[in-house]
Structure 1
Amino acid sequence: MDKVKVLEQYLPPDAAPLIGRWIDYFKCEFKISRNRGTKFGDYRPPFDGRGHRISVNYDLNAYAFLVTTVHEFAHLHTWNEHQHKVKPHGPEWKGNFKKMMQPFFEKNIFPPDVHHAITRYLNNPAASSCSDLNLYRSLRKYDPPKESVTTVEKLPMKALFKLKDGRVFRKEEQLRKRFKCVEVKSRRVYLFSPVAEVELVEAH
């Protein structure tokens, strides 16, 4: 099957041809991956006879899939220019991400709120990729609704919630950007991102 046709199933259709050309131009192995709870995408530089490799989670909405794909291609482009001599999300990467996002801005691929969030993110060098909560929240609005799933920030204080692995936590106070949560069984304290996806445990 033609790669652009495959990409159209995951990306906004007008974005697929350009991503297809990038895959060819950079001679990149591009993989649509299973969900990885800790990251949306991944870039691996050439190593041990293999070329550039990018993987993106299959279950992202089309806009999140595109932002993640451009994010990883900006890592590839930065590696080609500098190898390991610069920081992963330093000014060189930011410059490439901004430049590589431009064609999609020109085609008006993104809804206004996502476009604005990306622009704001690119003008804020202190924020690292997925930890930019404003951009993350904007992208999440376009996810299909998930039954029984909520985020830590939407839970009331002292609410009990559980993770996919079945562990149960109680939400405590906010410490700067994260929420302090106590695992009920072990009483250990963990810090959760406000946008971590969890399931509310009904109080009996």
Structure 2
Amino acid sequence: MKKDQVLAQYMPAAAAPIIARWIDYFQCEFKISKNRTTKLGDYRHPFKTAGHRISVNNDLNHFAFLVTTVHEFAHLLTWNDHKNKVKPHGLEWKNNFKRMMNPFLEQQVFPEEVQHAITVYLLNPAASSCSDLHLSRTLKKYDLASKGTRLEEIPLHAEFTIKDGRKFKKGERLRKRFRCTCLDNGHIYLFNPLAEVILAATGT
């Protein structure tokens, strides 16, 4: 199966040939990874004998997968231009991300509401599309199946479980994230409001 045919299983079909060309042009190792709770995708710059490496989670819907892929390729381009002399999500990365997203906006590969959310997000792209709640909420509408409840929907101090089985208690919101206590080890973790959790059953 050709590269663009494989990619078309994970992103809008019209976008796959462009991403396939990028992979070949930059001689990038592109990996479709299993779900990772802490990140949607990852870029690693060349090191020793390894070249550019990008990985994107396989459980993202087609539109989130493409946005994440472009995000990581913007890191690759920024590394090629500046190496490690600039901030990872500084002005250079933002400009590259906007430029690399343009072909997909021009082809209108996204539904209208996603296209609009991305256009607004591009006014000042953040380190992660997840940190833009409007874009993240819009993208999540296209998830095939929700695995739980959003953290923002459960009561303060409620107990919940995440995918790896760890249990937490929901705490106060600090700016964009909720401060939650892990009941297994007592450590504090910051959660995205849109994180999918399983609300613990309460006794009667």
- TM-score by length of structure 2 reads 0.91
CA distance in 1, matches of 2:144, 2:30: 25
User: Which residue matches 1:118?
Assistant: 118
Corresponding position: 1:152 with 2:151: yes
The aligned amino acid for 2:152 is E
Aligned to 2:181: 182
Rounded Cα–Cα distance in structure 1 between residues aligned with 2:185 and 2:74: 42
Whole-Å separation in 1 of the counterparts to 2:79 and 2:133: 26
Matched to 2:65, the amino acid is F
Which residue identity does 2:105 align to in structure 1? F
Task: Tell me, yes or no, if the aligned pair for 2:94 and 2:124 is still in contact at 8 Å.
Answer: no
Normalised by the length of structure 1, the TM-score is 0.91
The structure-2 alpha-carbon separation of the partners of 1:8 and 1:84, relative to structure 1 and needing over 3 Å to count, comes to: same
Per-residue CA deviations over 1:144-194 (Å, capped at 9, x if unaligned) read 1224x1111011233221123333323233232222333446555443221
* More moved, 156-165 vs 65-74: 156-165
Deviates more, 1:171-180 or 1:109-118: 171-180
1:9-20 equivalences under 5 Å are 9-20=9-20
Aligned Cα root-mean-square deviation (Å): 1.7
- Match of 1:106? 106
Alignment correspondent of 1:199: 198
- Aligned-pair identity (%): 62
The one-letter amino acid of 2:5's match is: K
* 1:78 and 2:89 aligned: no
> Structure 1's 99 and 48: CA in aligned 2 closer, same or farther, altered over 3 A?
same
Question: How far 1:42 sits from its partner (Å)?
Answer: 0.8
Residues 47-68 of structure 1 show CA distances to partners (whole Å, capped at 9, x for unaligned) of 1122111111111100011001
Unaligned runs of 5+ in 2: none
Change in 2 beyond 3 A, CA 1:115/1:182: same
> Which has the higher mean CA deviation after the structures are superposed, 28-37 or 112-121?
112-121
What are the within-5 Å matches in structure 2 for residues 21-36 of structure 1? Answer: 21-36=21-36
1:98 is paired with a residue of what secondary structure? helix
Provide the secondary structure at the position in 2 that maps to 1:85: coil
Structure 1 position 6 matched with structure 2 position 28: no
Decide whether aligned partners of structure 1 residues 182 and 53 sit closer, same or farther in structure 2, where only a CA change above 3 A counts.
closer
Distance (Å, rounded) in 1 between the aligned partners of 2:184 and 2:6: 45
Deviates more, 1:50-59 or 1:131-140: 131-140
Instruction: Return the alpha-carbon distance in structure 1 between the equivalents of residues 4 and 195 of structure 2.
Output: 32
SS in 1 for 2:87: coil
